[in-house]
Amino acid sequence: MPANNPRKRTDPRVRRTRRLLRDALISQMLERDFASISIKEVTERAEVAYVTFFRHYDSLEQLLMEVLDEGLGELLLRIEMLAKKSDDSDLETEGRLIFEYAGQKADLFQILFKSPSVARVRKKVVRNIAATFRQSCLPLARSGHPMATAMLSHHIATSLLALIEWWLDNRMEPAPAQMGKVYKSLIIDSAVGAVNSVSAVPG
């Protein structure tokens, strides 16, 4: 398939075309749901020939997955850094970085939260975030109880996305630095504090 050709991925012209198509899809999805968008509309907005689309993607769904995977990949890296931290000030700093990134990628997150057609993608994002905490968050690992670890990592993942959604709906207020503190106290501290009690739940 053309989209998997390493040479084409490194070709500046190919990168530019893909960027134009990604930007066109994002702008369309901010106006209406993904299910109502056609390839022709995306190529016209991108000012790319219709046939060119199929040199890079098999479908709009493939383009959408690339948009979300690339955009959320950096978020997962930031979360992995956060999960490995034990110092309180580091947790707040990494939390601030997460919200700064969410602000920079506000359009992407609006698509993730608002478009009914990407529900499957949202579930995937939750699973990926939960897996990151399950593997990297030492307080969860120390519980020694698979059910407790799975439950709490899922809670952290869903709570983080819910907090980001609320923050974007609230016009990105309070500032990211304050949200880093909220994230630490509201989500991380409460989840870690629940480790012992949830570990007692029969598996």
Q: Which residue has the tokens 């046939």?
A: 51
- Is 175 found in the same domain as 76? yes
- Is 85 found in the same domain as 20? no
- Is 100 found in the same domain as 165? yes
- Measured CA to CA, the distance from residue 59 to residue 44 in angstroms comes to 16
Which tens digit of pLDDT belongs to each residue from 128-138? 888 888 877 76
> Going along 75-203, which residue ranges are E strands?
none
Q: Indicate yes or no: pTM above 0.75.
A: yes
- Is 158 found in the same domain as 92? yes
Which tens digit of pLDDT belongs to each residue from 156-187? 999 999 999 999 999 999 999 999 999 989 99
- Is 182 found in the same domain as 152? yes
Which tens digit of pLDDT belongs to each residue from 110-159? 988 988 888 888 888 899 888 888 877 766 666 667 777 888 889 999 99
Residue 158 identity (one-letter amino acid): T
- Is 157 found in the same domain as 103? yes
Which tens digit of pLDDT belongs to each residue from 84-108? 665 555 778 888 989 999 999 999 9
Torsion of the alpha carbons at 48, 51, 52 and 55, rounded to the nearest 10? 160
- The values of phi and psi at residue 55, to 5°, are -80, -15
